């Protein structure tokens, strides 16, 4: 199974060959970290892994200034893996393991006022993330419909989560943190 980060790199290398530093700039410029997990420090590790798997290949390219750089390109096997990973991503829902759920499962261990304050901070952080994504979206318009979808999907998820947390805050306040010690928390 291809990880999100590997899929992101294969997607970019399917567009054109890049060297590692260029990939970092493209990821940053497109705001890809808002919707996929790919860290700067993992790019070269993943490139080596993908190359060892035969999904990409590299060649040395003489630099205009400085030493030669490795330029990476997708292979036919990489194209097939990319196609399969895209189909899998579009057909298979994944579980989301958010720390928020762990916090809610353990809510009875802290005072209601502390829980409400923490949840309000969570809402504020969601508001900041919404503002950031909306600003990135505006600076990049016009965009192809499928790129627009990345932004609208992210905004819809964050807005829905924000609304849900606000409703949950009201429940916590209404219950005044009612004593639910020993309550068995079921699985989802």
Instruction: Name the 3-class secondary structure at 178.
Output: coil
Question: CB-based contacts of 79: which residues, under 8 Å, 6+ apart?
Answer: 14
162, 123 contact by CB (below 8 A): yes
Better-predicted residue by pLDDT, 181 or 148: 148
Residue percentage of the chain with pLDDT more than 90: 65
**pTM for this entry:** 0.76
Asked if residue 106 has pLDDT above 80, the reply is: yes
Q: Could you tell me the two tokens for 108?
A: 């009875």
Asked if residue 40 has pLDDT above 90, the reply is: no
CB neighbours of residue 130 within 10 Å: 16
pLDDT tens string 134-162: 998 898 889 899 889 989 999 999 999 99
Going edge to edge, which strands form the sheet with 18-19?
18-19, 69-74, 56-61
Q: Identify the pLDDT of residue 138.
A: 92
């Amino acid at each position: 199974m291809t990880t999100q980060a590997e899929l992101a790199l294969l997607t970019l290398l399917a567009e054109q060959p890049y060297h590692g530093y260029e990939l970092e700039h493209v990821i940053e410029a497109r705001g890809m970290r808002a919707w996929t997990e790919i860290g700067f420090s993992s790019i070269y590790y993943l490139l080596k892994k993908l190359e060892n798997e035969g999904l990409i290949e590299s060649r040395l390219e003489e630099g205009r200034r400085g030493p030669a750089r490795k330029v990476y390109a997708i292979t036919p096997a990489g194209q097939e893996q990319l196609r399969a990973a895209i189909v899998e991503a579009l057909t298979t829902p994944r579980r989301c393991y958010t720390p928020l759920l762990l916090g809610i499962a353990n809510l009875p261990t802290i005072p209601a006022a502390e829980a409400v304050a923490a949840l309000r901070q969570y809402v504020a952080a969601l508001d900041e993330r919404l503002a950031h994504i909306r600003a990135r979206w505006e600076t990049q318009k016009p965009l192809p419909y499928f790129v627009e979808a990345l932004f609208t999907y992210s905004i819809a998820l964050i807005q829905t989560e924000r609304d849900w947390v606000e409703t949950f805050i009201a429940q916590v306040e209404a219950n005044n943190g009612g004593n639910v010690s020993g309550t068995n928390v079921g699985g989802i």
